[in-house]
Amino acid sequence: MEIGIRLKNISLSLAAVLLSFPTLNASRAEAVATPKNFSGNVSWYGVPFHGRRTASGKIFDMNKCTSAHLKLPFFTKVLVEDPKNGKSVVVQVLDRGPYVKTRVMDLSREAAKRLGTLGSGVAYVDCTVINENDDDDAAPAKATPAAKSTAPATEKKEASK
């Protein structure tokens, strides 16, 4: 009887240890998958998705500086810099993507415009995570001094509050 109880306890302990491995591996993979600095190609998206709900639940507004990333937490703010032209923009992750393996992020039309990559469609950039999970309704982010805001006057007043 005592041997049966011991075997049962050992089996339960072993099962608990084995079941913890996927959890450990998942958290390790997640930590590796969300680096603070990364570089690669970005593209942009706009009109066909404007007004549609994003994966985060927010409505996509192509005139705000937002982005899609496969693994960064929603509402994370990322500084995106184009090393070729020196322009930068802060975007907020509201969607999932890109689903093209050679790209690290999709930018909204406004973010691409401020970055100076609208015409080319794809650009190589350096990205730095500024903060994670900061849901402030994706207010228009500030661009480099050379860029001029095209937001309506009422939106500018609300953004400065």
Task: Tell me: pLDDT of 143 over 50.
Answer: no
Domain ranges of the chain: 33-142
Gap between the Cα atoms of 58 and 120, Å rounded: 27
pLDDT, one tens digit per residue, over 7-59 is: 455 554 544 444 444 444 433 334 345 679 999 999 999 999 999 999 999 99
Q: 81-85: list long-range contacts, CB under 8 Å, 24+ apart.
A: 81/125, 81/126, 81/127, 81/128, 82/115, 82/116, 82/117, 82/123, 82/124, 82/125, 83/124, 83/125, 83/126, 84/123, 84/124, 85/116
The whole-number average pLDDT for the span 70-80 is 97
- For position 136, what pLDDT does the model report? 62
Lowest mean pLDDT among 56-70, 97-111, 147-161: 147-161
pLDDT number for residue 35: 76
Find the mean pLDDT for residues 147-160. Answer: 39
pTM of the model: 0.65
Q: From start to end of 50-109, where are the E strands?
A: 66-68, 77-81, 88-95, 103-108
Q: Average pLDDT, stretch 145-161?
A: 39
Confidence at residue 150, expressed as pLDDT on a 0 to 100 scale: 38
How does pLDDT run across 41-51, given as a tens digit for each residue? 999 999 999 99
CATH number for region 33-142: 2.40.40.10
